[in-house]
């Protein structure tokens, strides 16, 4: 056939790529090449075929390297199966030219929608952002960074479903210039500053692109856009962001996502909570309220709630609609106190200590009364660090505060940090865990991993730090590590998978739980925290339904001998999410619930709070609802303290009595 440069639209119907994909019409183009609507003559379906144009450099070596890199990245993208990522079906090479065969999504790009229909209501933009974050978190979990998140790469179908496209195809070798068709992929205003400087992009670059994309959706222009191209470039170089005019309560979140320093941007999970928090504060019907009621009113549609807003219906075992859950008994589930200034708190004795816009505060878990306030404009998260100290993290490290008084004990760590039992732990260097003494601030040790330290870090009763180390690529090994907390010596290392990722670990007394992802295989395993030895392993693949493309294990708790695992695909329209109970490696029961967070209390009770703003007490033996009550919003997680069940919602906490 003719070379790709000579494929013209009038001749498209006569072009058959790889003997299978007949080009129909040109439907898009950009710096990476041209996208064609095509017909798969083997499977008899419509697909999108991306013709990769070799504009990577003049030398044969540069062209060959660019093609190989694109194919390698496309293979990585093909490994991602997620409802909010455009699926990659095939990689075809013909006459030395790579073609990427993808899912065809009928609809418009976000860029086209805003250009044709105007700026979006904040609520709709938040929903788009949450769907995009679901895609990005899935990609980041297996070491893939998109690198080119922008409105043109966000496809929205007629039912409001959002898909991110061009995954893994945005990095090119020998990049020298910043242009629309240049080798550094990205558009001024959507490309993260570190990418423009030639630094290797990571997940923070995608967070920046998300922030710029949502800014465009709400404001109708990019964050650096000016009246002409050159002033736009100048504004971008100076990081001169136009003040948001339509974003209202979401404006601070957009500016945090667009921080020039990647260290100062929130993670994808933090961004999700910020988006939810920004939407909760709006004084109109929100998406979560509409899901909870299952009703769309004319007023709600007029307020911008049109789109993908519906409540999934869960079939019962008999196939009929499930009955409504029983309401809470009199006095049970009643709100004892409520605050909207306590973000992501930790429970320390009788206190709840969390972050807020004005600093970090401690409140009485029984009454909600403030015990102390440490003022700061950079309190983003809180960990209990042992030695009666909490660690309040910010843009670059954090501060150690006295639990009882809030007195500042000094700076600790650098970059994003966490804390556990006397240590402040940071990832200042790639694949490296660095520990500081929380009392003195002295650097103690650093450990280099065989991948990225990711997920939660726990101190087991045996005195071993337990952490997950995931491969930075989709085809590398992932491990659980046991580390001596005072020396940094490796106590044990357990190989979880030769090719894949590991989620967790979650601690439960002397045990650890972790989930291994190897292609489409999901396995929950229980380990001895002292040795890393695997006690048992159970496949989670049977919890998926046919239409489900991604399941996320967000939480594991134990209730006696029972392991309770919260699963969700993190979508607004969920195909499967719920709770699965496992005992000694055998699944005992499953309970469909909408994006649940779970808690096992000290008196042997089991609670689950769902994305549609309902709190359930579940029967540990069967998973059935004992009683339920509405919550003010979707619950991020549950805590127990001072006889209270504490629901952490956005940037606040609602307390319920644990009395029966």
How many CB atoms are located within 10 Å of the residue 143 CB? 21
- In whole angstroms, what is the distance from residue 47 CA to residue 69 CA? 23
Pairing of strands 562-568, 578-583: antiparallel
For the record, the structure tokens of 43 come out as 């499977």
Active site residue 148: yes
- In whole angstroms, what is the distance from residue 630 CA to residue 67 CA? 54
* Start-to-end C-alpha separation, the chain: 75
Specify the DSSP class assigned to residue 304.
I
- In whole angstroms, what is the distance from residue 277 CA to residue 356 CA? 12
Q: Does 50 count as an annotated binding residue?
A: yes
- In whole angstroms, what is the distance from residue 96 CA to residue 328 CA? 66
Asked if residues 624 and 578 have their Cβ atoms less than 8 Å apart, the reply is: no
- List Cβ neighbours of 30 (8 Å cut-off, separation of 6 or more): 152, 180, 181
3-state secondary structure (DSSP) of residue 59: coil
Residue of 40, 95, 117, 148 with catalytic role: 148
Asked if residues 454 and 441 have their Cβ atoms less than 8 Å apart, the reply is: no
Checking phi first, is residue 590 left (phi over 0); if not, alpha (psi -120 to 50) or beta?
A: beta
Asked if residues 484 and 491 have their Cβ atoms less than 8 Å apart, the reply is: yes
Radius of gyration of the chain from Cα atoms?
25
Longest dimension (CA), the chain: 77
- In whole angstroms, what is the distance from residue 536 CA to residue 190 CA? 46
Asked if residues 634 and 595 have their Cβ atoms less than 8 Å apart, the reply is: yes
- List Cβ neighbours of 180 (8 Å cut-off, separation of 6 or more): 30, 31, 187
How many CB atoms are located within 10 Å of the residue 157 CB? 13
For the record, the structure tokens of 236 come out as 């971008």
3-state secondary structure (DSSP) of residue 206: helix
- List Cβ neighbours of 82 (8 Å cut-off, separation of 6 or more): 134, 135, 138, 139, 549, 550
Distances (CA, A) of 521 to 11, 501, 597: 43, 11, 23
The residues that bridge with 483 in the sheet, in sequence order, are: 465, 490
Please identify every residue annotated as catalytic. 148
What residues are designated binding site? 50
What residues are designated binding site for ATP? 50
């Amino acid at each position: 056939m003719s070379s790709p440069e000579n494929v013209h639209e009038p001749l498209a119907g006569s072009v058959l790529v790889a003997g299978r994909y007949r080009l129909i019409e040109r439907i898009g183009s950009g710096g990476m090449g041209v996208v064609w609507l095509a017909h798969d003559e083997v499977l008899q379906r419509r697909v999108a075929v991306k013709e990769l144009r070799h504009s990577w450099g003049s030398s044969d070596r540069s062209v060959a390297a660019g093609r190989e890199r694109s194919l390698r990245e496309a293979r990585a993208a093909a490994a991602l199966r997620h409802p909010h990522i455009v699926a990659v079906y095939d990689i075809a090479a013909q006459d030395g030219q790579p073609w990427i065969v993808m899912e065809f999504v009928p609809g418009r790009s976000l860029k086209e929608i805003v250009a044709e229909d105007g700026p979006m209501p904040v609520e709709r933009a938040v929903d788009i952002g949450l769907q995009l974050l679901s895609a990005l978190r899935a990609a980041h979990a297996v070491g893939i960074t998109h690198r080119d998140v922008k409105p043109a790469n966000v496809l929205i179908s007629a039912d409001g479903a959002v898909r991110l496209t061009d995954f893994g195809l945005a990095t090119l070798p020998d990049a020298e210039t910043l242009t629309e068709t240049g080798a550094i992929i990205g558009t001024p205003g959507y490309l993260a500053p570190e990418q423009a400087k030639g630094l290797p992009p990571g997940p923070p670059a995608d967070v920046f692109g998300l922030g710029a994309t949502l800014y465009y959706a709400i404001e109708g222009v990019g964050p650096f856009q000016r009246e002409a191209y050159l002033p736009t470039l100048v504004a971008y170089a100076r990081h001169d962001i136009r003040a948001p005019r339509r974003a209202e309560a979401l404006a601070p979140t957009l500016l945090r996502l667009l921080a020039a320093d990647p260290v100062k941007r929130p993670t994808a999970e933090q961004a999700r909570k910020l988006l939810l928090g920004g939407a909760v504060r709006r004084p109109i019907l929100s998406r979560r309220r509409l899901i909870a009621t299952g009703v769309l009113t004319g007023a709600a549609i007029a307020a911008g709630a049109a789109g993908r807003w519906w409540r999934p219906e869960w079939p019962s075992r008999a196939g009929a609609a499930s009955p409504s859950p029983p309401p809470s008994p009199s006095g049970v589930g009643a709100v004892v106190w409520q605050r909207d200034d306590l973000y992501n708190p930790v429970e320390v004795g009788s206190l709840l200590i969390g972050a807020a816009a004005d600093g970090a505060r401690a409140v009485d878990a029984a009454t909600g009364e403030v015990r102390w306030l440490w003022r700061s404009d950079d309190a983003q998260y809180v960990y209990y660090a042992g030695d009666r100290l909490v660690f309040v993290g910010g843009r670059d490290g954090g501060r150690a505060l006295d639990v009882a008084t809030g007195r500042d004990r000094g700076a600790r760590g650098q970059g994003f940090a966490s804390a556990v039992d006397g240590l402040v732990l940071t990832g200042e260097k790639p694949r490296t865990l660095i520990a500081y003494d929380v009392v003195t601030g002295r650097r103690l040790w650093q450990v280099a991993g065989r991948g990225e330290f990711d997920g939660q870090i726990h101190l087991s009763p045996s005195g071993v730090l337990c952490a997950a180390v995931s491969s930075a690529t989709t085809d590398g090994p992932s491990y659980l590590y046991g580390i001596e907390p005072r020396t940094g010596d490796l106590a044990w290392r357990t190989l979880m998978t030769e090719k894949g990722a590991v989620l967790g670990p979650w601690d439960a007394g002397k045990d650890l739980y972790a989930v291994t992802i190897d292609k489409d295989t999901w396995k929950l395993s229980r380990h001895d925290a002292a040795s890393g030895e695997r006690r048992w392993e159970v496949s989670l693949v049977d919890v998926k339904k046919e239409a489900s493309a991604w399941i996320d294990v967000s939480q594991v708790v134990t209730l006696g001998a029972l392991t309770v695992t919260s699963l969700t695909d993190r979508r607004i329209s969920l195909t499967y999410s719920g709770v699965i109970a496992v005992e000694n490696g055998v699944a005992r029961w499953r309970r469909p619930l909408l994006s649940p967070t779970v808690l096992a209390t000290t008196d042997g009770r089991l609670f689950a709070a769902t994305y549609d703003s309902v709190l359930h007490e579940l029967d540990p033996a069967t998973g059935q609802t004992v009683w339920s009550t509405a919550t003010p919003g979707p619950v991020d997680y549950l805590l127990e303290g001072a006889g209270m069940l504490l629901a952490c919602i956005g940037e606040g906490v609602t307390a319920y009595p644990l009395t029966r």
